Amino acid sequence: MLSWAALFFIVALVAAVFGFGGIAGAAAGIAKILFVIFLVLFALSLIGSVMSGRRPPIP
């Protein structure tokens, strides 16, 4: 999920350099949404891991 957000951020930067304002704005908006979703899922995973009390397996 974070890689998709980074990809859309890079697309937004490239589009902004070439002057495509609408595309850059849309790609930046998608990157922001994906980043927020990633943060929420990470926080939920972290809370779930702490609440379960189990340690991760050691490889």
Q: Tell me, letter by letter, the H, E, C secondary structure of the chain.
A: CHHHHHHHHHHHHHHHHCCCHHHHHHHHHHHHHHHHHHHHHHHHHHHHHHHHCCCCCCC
* pLDDT tier at 4, thresholds 50, 70, 90: confident
Residues 24-35 have a mean pLDDT of 82
Residue 59 resides in a domain: no
Residue 56 has pLDDT above 80, yes or no: no
Residues 8-26 have a mean pLDDT of 79
Based on the structure, what is the number of domains in the chain? 1
Residue 13 resides in a domain: yes
Per the structure, the complete domain to which residue 14 belongs is given by: 2-52
Residues 14-42 have a mean pLDDT of 82
Mean pLDDT computed over every residue of the chain: 80
Residue 1 has pLDDT above 70, yes or no: no
The pTM of the full predicted model, rounded to 2 decimals, is 0.62
Residue 44 resides in a domain: yes
Residue 8 resides in a domain: yes
